[in-house]
Structures are given as structure tokens and as C-alpha cells.
Structure 1
Amino acid sequence: MGADTRLEDPAPGGLGEVDEPAFTGLAQRHRRELHVHCYRMLGSFEDAEDTVQETFLRAWRRRETFAGRSTFRAWLYRIATNACLDLLARCRPEPATGGEVRWLQPYPDRLLDELPAGDADAPEAAAVARETIELAYVVAVQHLAPRPRAVLILRDVLGWPAKDVAELLGDSVNSVNSALQRARAGMRDHLPAERQDWTGGEPDARTRDLVRRFTDASVTVDIPAITAMLRDDVRFAMPPTPGVHVGRDAVIADWVADGFAEMTGLRAVPTAVNRQPAAAFYHWREQENAYLPLTIDVLRITGGRITEVVIFGADRFASLGLPDRLPASA
């Protein structure tokens, strides 16, 4: 207990003599919230995982630089943010455009639940706040240039003071405040107009019923029933496939053109990602005598209608903790 207390709030230079297992144990306490932070910055679950690993490696190599001027947690956030900025400069020098994010991946609620809810004002609560983890928010963030993106997340999500963000980025407080205003304006351009009406807390009975009816209609390929649940201006995307379809007729037409109307042998498993309802669909494969992963449909619901559908492929099932097959008797 004494060792943990000493490591949780190390004195200046207090990490220099810490061995690697003890350091790893301390860093691992913050893994999930750092992963969520990197996910917001990058929009990709896998890239976030790699960046957290890079963060821990950098932290271990630079442990002597921790001088105790901030908390160990804040020190890790600084390293993680810079690791994200390095990855973006190397792999994605230009932000997303046109409302689509081809590298977007879902974040499973089961992992978000690893962080305790605790006090609403606690850092962990901010890390998984519903309105800043939903796909629409993550997509909007990806349309910002990397440094304004970092400023927005650190200031508006994590609540860092402007002077701390300025120190991290090597900028002035005035520059940080200016970047924050530009980032907020950019977010308003890309967030849904009805953001104030987003569902808060746990889904209500009406929302759960709509998700159930959508799932049932998808399994039976009831196109008219699905159409009736979509709002006129519904949006649909299927990363990494390019394109965003807007409007009920356009979305249904795309699904029909892709052969959805002729599908048979579907099963569904309810799930949740990014604090949104979702359904994982499996397709019967005779040669395997089982239902195999097909797609994950993530829904955004507003006012009793489906306003957005983001579909991810079978490669995301494992990261979401979903079964790799369903038996014939399922």
C-alpha cells in the first residue's frame, strides 16, 4: 500500500529509481482513459491501441523527466497527446473532409465500462462522457487539424487550463485560446444540428423498442418496415468504404443496390458501441454449419427516428468482444 501511494503521487524525480514492473503497474491504471483519449484524437480503435503502447514506451524511457510539477496522470496525457500528433503528422497530415472518416472504428461499451462512473466531475467521467464519445462527435473531431483537435479535447473534454495546454504544445495561451475558438466553430459545422436532443443516460423504452424493431426488420429484410423507421434526412456511412449517403431514399436505394433486399439467413446479437445502440448481424454459411460475422449496425436515434446508421465490417467483431460464430441452434 505504501509503495502504491508513493508511486501515485511521486515526489520530484521520484520515478528515477522505480523498477519496470512497478512503473508498468502504475501506468496501467490509466490505460483505459488514455486509450479513449487517443481514440478521440485518432478515430481508430487500433491506432489508439498502438499509440497507448507507444505512450508507455516513451514514458518508461523518459521517466527521469517526470519532475512532479504535475500529476503522473497529466504527465502521461502529455506524452499520449504528443504521440497522437506524431502519428497524425506521419500518417494523416490532412484532416477528414466531406463528413466521412474512412479510418473510423467503433469503441465497445464494455471497455468504456471499465472506467468507474464515480463523480460526474471526476476525470474518468469526463473521459467517457456520452456526448464526446458518440460516433458523430468523433467524426466531427476528425475534421479538425491535429493541433486544434488536441486543444479542443484537452480544454473542452478534459478541462485542462489553457496555460497547461500551451505548455504541452509549445504555444502561447493566446494561440491556444484562438485555436480553441476555431475548433469549436469547426465542430459546429460538422456536428448534427439536433445535438441538444441527443439521447442522454440509458436508452428509454421508446428507443429500446425502436432498436428492437429495426433489428427484427433487418433480420427478416423487411424493407418497408426499415424505411418507416428512418428519418427523411438519415445519414449512412460504411467505413472504410468511401461515401456518405444522405436522405432516406438514397440510403435505401444504396442498400438495395448492394443486394440487401435478397439476403436470407440472418441472425442478430444486440450490442452497444460509443454509448450508442447497435446490432451485430451474422449470416448463415452452410459449409461452416454456423452463422458467421457480417456487419455491425450502429444507430443514432433522435425524436423516435433513426437519424444515422454507421455500418462496420466483420473485422470489428473481435475488438467488440462479439462471438466469432453462432451455432445453428442459436
Structure 2
Amino acid sequence: MKAAGSDLMARARAGDGGAFGELTEPYRRELHVHCYRMLGSFQDAEDTLQETLLAAWQALAGFSEERASLRTWLYKIATNRCLNARRAAGRRAAKEWNVPNLEAPEPTRLGEVVWLQPYPDFLLEATADAPPGPEVRYERAEAVSLAFVTALQVLPPRQVAVLILRDVLGFQANEVAGMLEVTVESVTSALKRARAGLRHRLPPAEGRQPPVAAGSPAEEAIVARFTRAWESADVAALVALLTDDVFISMPPMPFEYEGRDVAGRFCAALFGAGRRFDLVPTRANGQPAFGAYLRGPDGIRRGTGLYALTLAGDRISAMTRFEASVLPWFGLPRSLPAK
């Protein structure tokens, strides 16, 4: 096997693009997820992964297996490309309220992270065989949850890189220092600050029930109840599914709503405008999700967005609404035919 890998490397260094593709293909999906964690954006992760592979192709002659494995070298390139993207001044601006024929309910606050995008679960499944390092601190599902990825976006870029490389991927401190071209002491200091910042940003775990198991009958029951309530515009049934501190966000619009009463008023305003929907189930970031399709007067149901649910026990603790442009990433159509 090693000889085959050496042959591929020799061919790639000689300019064989197919050989380079074979060398890097086993790492593409996990690198894409890494870029997504760093950037919080599916689209930015796509772009940065392509930049990473191009940079690796151009620098392959200088790669030495004696200094680092191919996987570690690719992570070094990807991480530094992500740091460049994080430092770029042109982060996407928040969008204005754009729900037709509905005035924006008064939000609890305006959010900081407006460029957040969801990640399809079927792409996460392709990284299931990626080997965890010896010092991993986060479960795979937790490390791609919307709450975790959102919290990462408000930490300083280098702290984010160190935390992901050490606590999510399990690289050792000296490996991370080599990737970032800093000292081990600098990595240790950045990791300490990142952990503190993450604890401050993530919802407190004390007193909160863990979500029911993904794909379990209990989760299926919650999904079914939510679908029935949403499709029938039953606000009371929806509110009964929510935790007291439920949180609603809707990037790239900055509007955020917190608390069961506020969430109930938000849903009542949405349905009170005469809007009725059909939901198509999917999964995003390890969480139940739905493509939402607005029923039109002509019977055609047009995609208006994607909702991802965060569960606490058998209740919904957060709901994140994304724009309809994300639907194709999940294999969902832009519209559904009339019934």
C-alpha cells in the first residue's frame, strides 16, 4: 500500500493531475468540514477547499513526508487559507427583513453572526471514517452543531484554528505549532483563551437535557409533531413543543427571538399573514431540518427556506431559519408541484 502511495506521489510530482486527485481524495470531505467550522459558511468552505487543493498542487514539489504526513500538510494549508478568509475585511453584511407581506416582529436582539449557513448531514457521513486524534474533547455531532459553529465565529481567528485542531481534530500541540508556524507555548495560550471564550458563548449545559438520539423513535415523534403543527399553522401546538428559553434566529437576517412567548408571537405573525407551508424533512449539522415550501394560489409550493431544529430532551430549544438558496445543497427542489 505504501509503495502504491509512493508511486502516486511520484506521478503527481511529475505533473499527473489524476494521481494528485487520488492522493487528496481521501481527505477532501474532512477538509471541507474543517473549512466549514472555521468559516461558518458552506459556500466559503467550498471556495477555500478549492484554494487549498490548488495551493497544494502548486507546492507539491516542496512537500516532505519526513516532516509531516500528507493529511497534516493539507490541514496546514487549509487552516492558513481559512485564517486569511477570516481576516478579510469583506464579511457579508446582514440582510434586511425580506418576508413578503409581513412586517418584522420586534426582535429580542440583533445577532452578530449573519453569514452562518447549514451543513448537509449526508456530507458529514462521508467523513465518518476520518481518524480522531488522541486529544479530541468534542463528540463528532457536537463539533458541527449550529450552536458550536456559531460560537466559533465570534472568537479570534487564531484561537478558532487552535481550538479546532486541538480539541475537535485531536492534533498534538507541536503539530499545531508547526501548522501555524508559532511556538508550542503560543498554541497552549491560545487554546486556553479559546476554551474560555467558547464556554462563555455556548448555552450552559447545566440543567439542560441532552437531545434525544438522532434517528430514534423519540426524535421521529418530535419531527412528526412539529410537521403537523407547522403545516396546520397550529401555534398552540408549536408552542407546546418549545422550551421556555427557545431561541429563533434567521441568518443572513440579524433578527433573533428568545423565549417561548416571543417565539409564539413570531409564529402567530407568520401564520396570521395567511402563509401556509408544506415541510420536507432532511438533516443539517446533525440536527432535524426541513425544507419549507409556501403554498401558492396556483397550487405550486415554492421553497422559502430551510429550518433546522436544536433539541433538548423531547423539546425544541432552538430553531434556525436559512434562505431558500441553501435547498439544493440538501438535494431539495426549488419548488414542489401542485397536489
TM-score by length of 1: 0.88
Q: Does the aligned pair in 2 maintain the 1:269–1:279 contact within 8 Å? A: yes
Aligned to 2:122: 110
Following TM superposition, by how much is the alpha carbon of 1:7 offset from its aligned partner in structure 2, in angstroms?
Answer: 5.5
Stretch of structure 1 that moved more, 19-28 or 309-318: 19-28
Following TM superposition, by how much is the alpha carbon of 1:183 offset from its aligned partner in structure 2, in angstroms?
Answer: 0.3
Write the mapping of 1:114-133 to structure 2, written as runs, cut at 5 A: 114-117=126-129, 121=132, 129-133=140-144
Following TM superposition, by how much is the alpha carbon of 1:224 offset from its aligned partner in structure 2, in angstroms?
Answer: 0.8
Letter in 2 for 1:101: V
Following TM superposition, by how much is the alpha carbon of 1:44 offset from its aligned partner in structure 2, in angstroms?
Answer: 0.2
Describe the superposition over 1:209-262 as per-residue Cα deviations: whole angstroms up to 9, x where unpaired.
1121011100110011111111111111000101321111122223334x3333
Q: Does the aligned pair in 2 maintain the 1:220–1:264 contact within 8 Å? A: no
Letter in 2 for 1:5: G
SS at match of 2:334: coil
Aligned to 2:97: none
Following TM superposition, by how much is the alpha carbon of 1:45 offset from its aligned partner in structure 2, in angstroms?
Answer: 0.2
1:191 aligns with 2:202: yes
Letter in 1 for 2:321: I
Following TM superposition, by how much is the alpha carbon of 1:108 offset from its aligned partner in structure 2, in angstroms?
Answer: 0.5
Query: What is the rounded CA distance, in whole Å, between the counterparts of 2:320 and 2:161 in structure 1?
Result: 25
Aligned to 1:5: 5
1:36 aligns with 2:46: no
SS at match of 1:129: coil
Q: Does the aligned pair in 1 maintain the 2:165–2:171 contact within 8 Å? A: yes
Aligned to 2:308: 298
Q: Does the aligned pair in 1 maintain the 2:241–2:315 contact within 8 Å? A: yes
Q: 1:86 aligns with which of 84, 87, 105?
A: 84
Following TM superposition, by how much is the alpha carbon of 1:140 offset from its aligned partner in structure 2, in angstroms?
Answer: 0.9
1:275 aligns with 2:273: no
Q: 1:100 to 1:304 in 2, by over 3 A?
A: farther
Following TM superposition, by how much is the alpha carbon of 1:197 offset from its aligned partner in structure 2, in angstroms?
Answer: 4.0
Q: 2:247 aligns with which of 235, 243, 246?
A: 235
Q: 2:160 aligns with which of 143, 149, 157?
A: 149
Write the mapping of 1:184-263 to structure 2, written as runs, cut at 5 A: 184-194=195-205, 197-199=209-211, 201-257=213-269, 259-263=270-274
Following TM superposition, by how much is the alpha carbon of 1:24 offset from its aligned partner in structure 2, in angstroms?
Answer: 2.1
Query: What is the rounded CA distance, in whole Å, between the counterparts of 2:321 and 2:23 in structure 1?
Result: 37
Q: 1:160 to 1:93 in 2, by over 3 A?
A: farther
Letter in 2 for 1:302: A
Q: 1:200 to 1:250 in 2, by over 3 A?
A: closer
Stretch of structure 1 that moved more, 58-67 or 164-173: 164-173
SS at match of 1:55: helix
SS at match of 1:164: helix
TM-score by length of 2: 0.86
Q: Which has the higher contact order (CA 8 A, sep 6+)?
A: 2
Letter in 1 for 2:259: G
Q: 1:14 to 1:154 in 2, by over 3 A?
A: farther
1:323 aligns with 2:333: yes
Following TM superposition, by how much is the alpha carbon of 1:283 offset from its aligned partner in structure 2, in angstroms?
Answer: 1.3
Q: 1:216 to 1:112 in 2, by over 3 A?
A: same
Name structure 1 gaps, 5 residues minimum: none
Letter in 2 for 1:315: S
Aligned to 2:173: 162
Aligned to 2:322: 312
Query: What is the rounded CA distance, in whole Å, between the counterparts of 1:149 and 1:7 in structure 2?
Result: 36
1:74 aligns with 2:84: no
Following TM superposition, by how much is the alpha carbon of 1:106 offset from its aligned partner in structure 2, in angstroms?
Answer: 0.4
Following TM superposition, by how much is the alpha carbon of 1:139 offset from its aligned partner in structure 2, in angstroms?
Answer: 0.6
Query: What is the rounded CA distance, in whole Å, between the counterparts of 1:93 and 1:326 in structure 2?
Result: 33
Following TM superposition, by how much is the alpha carbon of 1:64 offset from its aligned partner in structure 2, in angstroms?
Answer: 1.1
SS at match of 2:239: helix
Letter in 2 for 1:224: A
Following TM superposition, by how much is the alpha carbon of 1:14 offset from its aligned partner in structure 2, in angstroms?
Answer: 8.4
Query: What is the rounded CA distance, in whole Å, between the counterparts of 1:318 and 1:37 in structure 2?
Result: 21
Q: 1:49 aligns with which of 46, 50, 54?
A: 46
Following TM superposition, by how much is the alpha carbon of 1:194 offset from its aligned partner in structure 2, in angstroms?
Answer: 2.2
Following TM superposition, by how much is the alpha carbon of 1:28 offset from its aligned partner in structure 2, in angstroms?
Answer: 2.4
Query: What is the rounded CA distance, in whole Å, between the counterparts of 1:293 and 1:316 in structure 2?
Result: 10
SS at match of 1:243: strand
Name structure 2 gaps, 5 residues minimum: 95-108
Query: What is the rounded CA distance, in whole Å, between the counterparts of 2:213 and 2:6 in structure 1?
Result: 37
SS at match of 1:29: helix
Q: 2:24 aligns with which of 11, 22, 27?
A: 27
Following TM superposition, by how much is the alpha carbon of 1:325 offset from its aligned partner in structure 2, in angstroms?
Answer: 2.0
Q: 1:285 aligns with which of 287, 293, 296?
A: 296
Q: Does the aligned pair in 2 maintain the 1:231–1:306 contact within 8 Å? A: yes
